[in-house]
Chains A and B, each alone.
Chain A
């Protein structure tokens, strides 16, 4: 039976990974995700998990080893942050093109430079279009749940794609929270052993990762694109099954006092919980504020977004990364392109906040709501709170 625990979220994520019985884990140290692989190596050392743990010499090799192990039919896991993800970068797009499930926890951290170990989403945004399913946890409980769900989704025969489980560096990785941890029996029931489509073995010879000339490259990309589109259905099914088994509901976009809101804000990750406090404050003042929490970034829940903003006058899109030279920031770019075809659209403002771990307070969110209520913003996007 599930058990209530109090634990650092990174360690809880590791416990959740262990419940999924991974066969191979390869990871390289980088703050702030490191407690996840550290704790996993501890679990292996204690004999609680039968798994090959590879303390590899780089993130590039971590993802490479995971790709090879996944190719051999193993259930694999890795975790990283920031520069580690960028160092893996060469391999990141190859994994989905080979249709190999690899589950990765990203302890989201700002990318250099300047070097900064604190939280924002610039790491994952750098690889957002490469064919990985990408989910964002807002708290410890969601981290645990999404880790377990990720294996089921990524390994599903209709998907076979790698999955990022994003959890904010420090704000989540290093925070101790009360969470409910499923037990082994429940997870075994939810997540049977992986059944690979093909595996590297002399009894069933395959060539993986072959050369794609121009006559096939198009089709290879289309295949990943189709898998990504199809994954939405699987994700929803898996979330339904999860809700039925564990009683916790997941949707691509979760609303908070959003139904009757005049001004709606959308966030990803842990910062949304601060924004909720701002919504509560504003509601006390009679200001109809509401919040959307985008849980599923890839595949982007296009229709859910259209539905969620219907009738809203003003929509604030929160970004945690800059898109240098772009028209707006990355999440807002998605939102604007989705709503372009809609006959009635809200006024959209785009606030880039909390870069490199900069604190964002309840008052800051309240200011953003109030500013947005005044009408069309002066600029397409703002880096909020920049000192002069």
Chain B
């Protein structure tokens, strides 16, 4: 069956936009996965884009006045409201275009935020913007804690990670719960295109951004962004960590188009051992074998849920008839 969105799977390195819309010279840490992901996102989006940004590392490191790394029109208002601001920008561009006050062409509004801004404090604004059906993309760059304020626990922090507000200790394993499933929450909003992604799979990510851009309505991408500072791993391990998150089954890369699930990066029959992912990261250093087993159980439950959905989900257009 033909997808509702144009297929970009033929995306090749030579077709990537040479233009840099997110300039070098910003003040992000060495090996920042989020900065890399944003650069890739901009290349996939191209010029006719407006970005709204939640408060966080990307706003702080990229725009200390009077400098800016953004070569796309960009607005930051506050922490929880990137999606709401985006919905306002989208509405304004729509009506101004209709009234002939701006040029008659498609401009995509893309709202971005970290996991704190998206899973926690901004979830209401995202829910509202997605539910109202604005023609916009929301991309969460999830580095699994409040990194900008100093590695505090968020509802995207995985089990066992030691953070500054749920540290590991004699009486504490670190974070006690598994990540909130934002992609699933967005599917429940009937968002026509939802995907998970990671900067360590740049073409998969850019394909997804391109697809999301094609949707005439809301689209949501959950992008895992490795934070060497917060994960306590070497900065040159950024890409590797993202790959390991996928290969271990902890963060499978899939998309949900019109309700139908599909794995976009094929998973090996035999997943890599989770220890390969956990051991190099200081945030998991304290985990004992029995705690790693709990971690494995939680991760596998989520992974198998995705596999089940891939097996059984039907597209909504199919289900209507």
Contact = CB atoms under 8 A, between A and B. Distances in A.
Given A201-B102, A203-B103, A212-B65, A54 B88 contact: yes
Interface residues of A, number: 47
B98 interface: yes
B96 A207 contact: no
Contacts of B96: 23, 72-74
A363 interface: no
Interface stretch (B1-9, B72-80, B245-253): B72-80
Interface string A21-41: 001101000000000000000
B236 to A, nearest CB: 28
A209 interface: yes
A66 interface: yes
A71 B81 CA distance: 14
Contact of B89 (A193, A200, A206): A200
B87 A56 contact: yes
B305 interface: no
A208 B88 contact: no
A201 B107 contact: yes
B94 interface: yes
A115 interface: no
Nearest to A95: B77
A209 B87 CA distance: 17
A232 B72 CA distance: 36
Contacts of A26: 88, 91
Given A64-B85, A65-B91, A91 B77 contact: yes
A55 B87 CA distance: 11
A186 interface: no
B60 interface: yes
Interface in B18-42: none
A211 B92 contact: no
Given A90-B78, A211-B65, A213-B65, A68 B92 contact: yes
B130 to A, nearest CB: 10
A61 B125 CA distance: 6
A51 interface: yes
Contact of A74 (B73, B92, B132): B92
Interface string B84-106: 11111101111110110111000
A205 B72 contact: yes
Given A26-B88, A65-B87, A72-B96, A98 B66 contact: no
B63 interface: yes
B47 interface: yes
Nearest to A72: B92
B125 A60 contact: yes
B139 interface: no
A206 B99 CA distance: 23
B98 to A, nearest CB: 7
Contacts of A282: none
Interface string A213-229: 10010001000000000
Nearest to B27: A211
B267 to A, nearest CB: 36
B95 A52 contact: yes
A90 to B, nearest CB: 6
A23 to B, nearest CB: 5
A91 B55 CA distance: 13
Contacts of B49: 202
B75 to A, nearest CB: 4
B77 A94 contact: yes
Interface in B284-304: none
A337 interface: no
B57 to A, nearest CB: 11
A209 B73 CA distance: 11
A50 B73 contact: no
Contact of A54 (B93, B102, B103, B132): B132
Interface residues of B, number: 49
A207 B107 contact: no
B124 A68 contact: no
Nearest to B103: A203
Contacts of A54: 87-88, 91, 132
B150 interface: no
Contacts of A206: 73-74
B68 interface: yes
A27 to B, nearest CB: 12
Given A51-B95, A54-B88, A65-B87, A202 B64 contact: no
B75 A71 contact: yes
Contacts of B60: 211
A70 B92 CA distance: 8
Interface in A156-214: 193, 199-213
A71 B87 contact: no
A57 B124 contact: yes
A61 B82 CA distance: 9
A67 interface: yes
A205 B73 CA distance: 5
B164 to A, nearest CB: 22
Contacts of B95: 23-24, 50-52, 74
B128 interface: yes
B76 A209 contact: yes
Interface in B111-130: 124-125, 127-129
A141 interface: no
Contacts of B59: 209-211
Given A90-B78, A208-B76, A211-B59, A61 B86 contact: no
Interface of B: 47-50, 52, 59-60, 63-66, 68, 70-78, 80-81, 83-89, 91-96, 98-99, 101-103, 107, 124-125, 127-129, 131-132
Given A24-B91, A57-B131, A216-B65, 15 more contacts: A23-B95, A24-B92, A61-B87, A67-B88, A71-B92, A72-B92, A90-B78, A90-B80, A193-B101, A199-B102, A200-B73, A202-B107, A207-B73, A211-B59, A211-B60
**5 tightest A-B CB contacts, nearest first:** A68-B88, A65-B88, A57-B128, A72-B92, A61-B84
16 contacts: A23-B92, A24-B88, A26-B91, A52-B92, A54-B91, A65-B88, A69-B92, A73-B96, A74-B95, A91-B78, A98-B77, A200-B89, A207-B63, A210-B76, A211-B59, A211-B60
